[in-house]
């Protein structure tokens, strides 16, 4: 790729956009764009995808334009079963692109989100996907897995046309694939979600690298906060949420409306008093409505219950805290994990009349993660447990989307106003 290519794209863009609008889209200031035009400094080759995206998306009359009233368009990366998506659809967003590599998660996702008539595209592995083929969007969502970064620090050689800093520091990681799409498409905002331990991974170097890429390389206004899902569902689940905006906004996590006390486990357990809803897509798979009881297969076998008790006792004697988590309707549970299908040990529901404890059913796991009862579970119990254990607490995402949306729409309106003046 030569420097002449991005310079030619810049000239095409200047025929239709102001320097201010181009600068805002590529994350630079107006003086830098002016120097590129005058030939005082070369227009970096890494900006070619962003300039092409600006030219291709210029005919859009309204963010999220769709038969309907979507306020903005978003893409859903490392989508799982769409928990983050649900939060943003609840506040006027429309999903235009999804990436998820796991076939079982894809099955659950496509069963619950009917995108056939909306120009929506679903792809598998984003790593091998061409960035130019990703559609233009206003918000990027990604629950990316955390991987170690092999090189610390961020290159400052961009102005010389050398490799983009995040390519040096994050190549080969899944965060790199998020960063390259942000660099090329320049969405108005993004939301990234990860485990709390991302903050301390590799003595904090991983998170410092991520922030350096987002702030110093991509020039986004970045905010982050660890949010515990137990304010919204009866589960202690701490996750870090990273939010960024293409321009400075008044966004603050202080605007979150977090209930002081969250619900208890009784709110998500199957009801044995005759009030458990009959769900056509579940039938009696999880709950026997005739006998008003959870299906017997979710009660631990004698051998498994004996093993877990012996295992817990062994670690107690050694002074360790390992063991099962026994809960009652008044409890807040431990974090539901993707390994829950193995023995259910982190969340075992106590049963009366001397019965052995039981696992949560997949429907109860869905409720524990904040998914409504109309969410269809088309996969096996094992796959369902994995999917919910890897998902997000939906009400958390919905609350973050609520406080993000006004700033997203403000940025989109600001960009539209600039275009009308030019």
Mean pLDDT calculated for residue range 65-85: 83
Residues 83 and 10 in one domain: no
Residues 242 and 280 in one domain: no
Mean pLDDT calculated for residue range 151-162: 39
- Maximum alpha-carbon separation in the chain: 83
Residues 326 and 349 in one domain: yes
Residues 313 and 239 in one domain: no
For residue 22, what is the domain's CATH number?
1.10.260
- Any domain includes 62: no
- Catalytic positions: 146
For residue 351, what is the domain's CATH number?
3.90.120
Residues 243 and 321 in one domain: no
Residue 156, pLDDT score: 38
Residue 4, pLDDT score: 54
- Any domain includes 384: no
- Any domain includes 93: yes
pLDDT at 61 > cutoff 60: no
Confidence of residue 205 (pLDDT cuts 50, 70, 90): confident
- Any domain includes 294: yes
Residue 49, pLDDT score: 74
- Between 37 and 276, the more confident residue is 276
Sequence-distant (6+) residues with CB within 8 A of 151 are 168, 169
pLDDT at 31 > cutoff 90: no
Residue 419, pLDDT score: 61
- Any domain includes 305: yes
Separation of alpha carbons 216 and 232, rounded Å: 34
- Any domain includes 381: no
Residues 46 and 91 in one domain: no
Residues 273 and 176 in one domain: no
Confidence of residue 275 (pLDDT cuts 50, 70, 90): very high
- Any domain includes 382: no
Question: If you average pLDDT over every residue of the chain, what do you get?
Answer: 86
Residues 357 and 331 in one domain: yes
Residues 182 and 122 in one domain: yes
For residue 100, what is the domain's CATH number?
3.40.50.150
Confidence of residue 65 (pLDDT cuts 50, 70, 90): very low
Residues 131 and 217 in one domain: yes
First to last CA, the chain: 31
Residue 35, pLDDT score: 85
Total domains in the chain come to 3
Cβ–Cβ < 8 Å for 294, 276: no
- What does pTM read for this prediction? 0.79
Percent of the chain with pLDDT over 90: 63
Supply the range of the domain harboring residue 334: 265-375
pLDDT at 152 > cutoff 70: no
Point out the least confidently predicted range of 61-70, 105-114, 378-387, 401-410. 61-70
Residues 79 and 47 in one domain: no
Encode pLDDT of 331-360 as tens digits. Answer: 999 999 999 999 999 999 999 988 999 999
- Any domain includes 253: yes
Residues 346 and 358 in one domain: yes
């Amino acid at each position: 790729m030569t420097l002449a290519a991005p310079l030619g794209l810049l000239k095409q863009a200047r025929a239709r956009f102001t320097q201010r609008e181009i600068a805002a889209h590529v994350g630079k200031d107006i003086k830098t764009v002016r120097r590129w035009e005058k030939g005082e400094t070369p227009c970096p080759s890494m900006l070619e995808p962003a300039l092409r995206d600006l030219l291709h998306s210029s005919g859009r009359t309204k963010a999220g334009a769709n038969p309907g009233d979507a306020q903005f368009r978003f893409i859903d990366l490392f989508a799982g079963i769409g928990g983050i998506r649900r939060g943003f659809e609840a506040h006027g967003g429309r999903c235009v692109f999804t990436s998820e590599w796991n076939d079982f998660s894809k099955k659950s996702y496509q069963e619950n989100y009917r995108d056939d008539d909306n120009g929506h595209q679903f792809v598998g592995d984003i790593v091998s996907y061409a960035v130019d083929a990703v559609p233009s969007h206003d918000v990027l969502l990604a629950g990316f897995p955390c991987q170690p970064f092999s090189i610390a620090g961020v290159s400052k050689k961009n102005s010389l046309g050398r490799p983009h800093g995040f390519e040096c520091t994050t190549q080969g990681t899944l965060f790199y694939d998020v960063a390259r799409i942000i660099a090329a498409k320049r969405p108005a905002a993004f939301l990234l979600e990860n485990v709390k331990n991302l903050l301390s991974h590799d003595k904090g170097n991983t998170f410092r690298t991520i922030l350096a890429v987002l702030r110093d390389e991509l020039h986004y206004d970045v905010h982050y906060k660890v949010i515990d899902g137990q304010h919204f569902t009866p589960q202690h689940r701490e996750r870090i949420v990273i939010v960024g905006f293409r321009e400075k906004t008044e966004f603050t996590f202080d605007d979150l409306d977090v209930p002081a006390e969250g619900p208890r486990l009784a709110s998500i357990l199957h009801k044995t008093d005759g009030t458990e809803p009959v769900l056509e897509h579940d039938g009696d798979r999880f709950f026997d409505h005739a006998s008003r009881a959870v299906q017997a297969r979710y009660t631990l076998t004698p051998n498994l219950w004996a093993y877990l008790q012996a295992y817990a006792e062994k670690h107690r004697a050694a002074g360790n805290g390992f063991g099962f988590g026994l809960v009652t309707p008044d409890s807040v549970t431990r974090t539901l994990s993707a390994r829950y299908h193995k023995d259910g040990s982190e969340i075992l529901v106590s049963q009366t009349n001397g019965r052995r404890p039981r696992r949560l059913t997949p429907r109860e796991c869905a409720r524990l993660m904040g998914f409504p009862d109309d969410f269809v579970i088309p996969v096996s119990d094992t796959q369902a447990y994995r999917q919910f254990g890897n998902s997000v607490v939906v009400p958390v995402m919905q609350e973050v989307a609520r406080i993000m949306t006004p700033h997203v729409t403000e940025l989109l309106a600001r960009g539209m106003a600039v275009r009308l003046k030019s």
